């Protein structure tokens, strides 16, 4: 296997994030009585479990970026196993640290599976913003647990797919690093359309591009309907080639939504450094102009 050391490093990072996540969730549960992973939206969407699964698998994501290893099916298998084990490990860690008010350790009196049965069926479901208690869930607890299990696995797989879509340099098979970002606001669709049609229109005149990058007609004002263009400059740590990813979002009443059709990914000619453009440096010559 190519880059064997890197894959071992990634596996170690994954085990570390798994252990940390189990420890943090258990400590929060012990201190506040709130079980992070049981948090759900509309009862059945296991948001807490998804986040916990993603946290448990996050070491694989960050380790892969650090060691420049591409996600393989073997990584997907590891991520799924770790996310699934995280749920069981959290239950076990709860069980082994559970001390009753009278000082008796639960683990000394009941077996793990008996504990789990009581634990799952006597969970209280809390609904709505007021967290109205609906009483013990009974055998529905098993179904909830199964839903959470799926949540854990989806969260873990999320770490894998984020890696899959992370921009990389085809030539060197390394992950690109984020070098700079620029944000531009438009409160007028026509102003945005003019910008969008022209910003990458002059591939050989990066001074024109620099001018467009400083163009912020909305002057950072955000209201309903504002269009936000975010340009991210990425660079390969090995061959130094740069790329720009442009993301376009539109403001709703309270939130931004991305318009995927307007996203663009533009390769920058080799040897050109656009970091000064993103820093707003105007006087300096931009990179080397290609012939």
Q: How many CB atoms lie within 10 A of CB 147?
A: 15
Q: How many chain residues are in contact with Zn ion, going by CB under 5 A? A: 6
With respect to Zn ion, which residue has the nearer C-beta, 68 or 183? 68
Pick one of 50, 89, 90, 236: the residue that binds Zn ion (CB under 5 A).
236
Binding piece for Zn ion, criterion CB under 5 A, among 135-143, 177-185, 229-237, 273-281: 229-237
With respect to Zn ion, which residue has the nearer C-beta, 55 or 65? 65
Pick one of 172, 191, 250, 262: the residue that binds Zn ion (CB under 5 A).
172
Q: Looking at the chain, how many residues does it have?
A: 291
Is residue 238 involved in binding Zn ion (CB under 5 A)? yes
Pick one of 169, 246, 247, 277: the residue that binds Zn ion (CB under 5 A).
169
- Residue of 81, 88, 57, 64 lying closest to 8 (CA atoms): 64
The Cα 180–Cα 173 span in angstroms is 21
* Residue 169 contacts residue 234 (beta carbons within 8 Å): no
Is residue 239 involved in binding Zn ion (CB under 5 A)? yes
**Nearest distance, CB of residue 168 and Zn ion, angstroms:** 9
Binding track, positions 82-111, relative to Zn ion; x by CB under 5 A: ------------------------------
**Nearest distance, CB of residue 235 and Zn ion, angstroms:** 9
Strands (E), 168-220: 168-169, 174-175, 177-186
Binding piece for Zn ion, criterion CB under 5 A, among 21-29, 158-166, 209-217, 235-243: 235-243
Q: How many helices (H) and strands (E) are present in the chain, helices listed first? A: 9, 9
**Nearest distance, CB of residue 170 and Zn ion, angstroms:** 8
CA 92 to chain CA mean position, Å: 27
CA atoms within 13 A on the CB side of 77: 3
Give CA torsion, residues 255, 260, 262, 264, to 10 deg.
120
**Nearest distance, CB of residue 130 and Zn ion, angstroms:** 54
**Nearest distance, CB of residue 163 and Zn ion, angstroms:** 18
- Residue of 232, 233, 242 lying closest to 171 (CA atoms): 242
Footprint of Zn ion (CB under 5 A): 169, 171-172, 236, 238-239
């Amino acid at each position: 296997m190519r880059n064997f050391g890197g894959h071992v490093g990634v596996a170690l990072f994954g085990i570390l994030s798994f252990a940390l996540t189990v420890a943090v969730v258990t400590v929060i549960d012990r201190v506040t009585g709130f079980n992070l992973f049981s948090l759900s939206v509309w009862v059945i969407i296991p948001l807490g479990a998804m986040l916990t699964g993603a946290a448990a698998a996050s070491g694989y994501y960050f380790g892969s970026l650090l060691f420049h290893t591409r996600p393989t099916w073997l990584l997907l298998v590891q991520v799924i196993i770790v996310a699934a084990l995280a749920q069981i490990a959290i239950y076990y860690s709860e069980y082994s640290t559970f001390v009753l008010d009278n000082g008796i350790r639960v683990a000394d009196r009941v077996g793990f599976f008996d504990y789990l049965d009581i634990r799952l069926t006597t969970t209280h479901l809390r609904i709505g913003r007021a967290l109205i208690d609906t009483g013990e869930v009974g055998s529905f607890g098993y179904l909830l647990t199964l839903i959470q299990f799926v949540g854990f696995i989806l969260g873990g797989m999320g770490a894998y797919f984020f890696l899959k879509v992370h921009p990389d340099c085809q030539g060197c098979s390394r992950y690109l690093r984020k070098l700079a970002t620029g944000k531009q606001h438009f409160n007028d669709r026509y102003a945005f359309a003019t910008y969008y049609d022209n910003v990458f229109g002059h591939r050989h005149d990066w001074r024109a591009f620099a001018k467009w990058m400083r163009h912020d007609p909305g002057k950072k004002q955000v209201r309903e309907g504002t269009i936000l263009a975010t340009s991210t400059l990425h660079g390969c740590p090995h061959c130094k080639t740069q790329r720009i990813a442009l993301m376009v979002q539109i403001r709703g009443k309270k939130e931004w939504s991305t318009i995927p059709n307007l996203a663009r990914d533009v390769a920058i000619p080799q040897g050109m450094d656009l970091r000064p453009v993103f820093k707003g440096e105007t006087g300096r010559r931009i990179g080397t102009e290609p012939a």
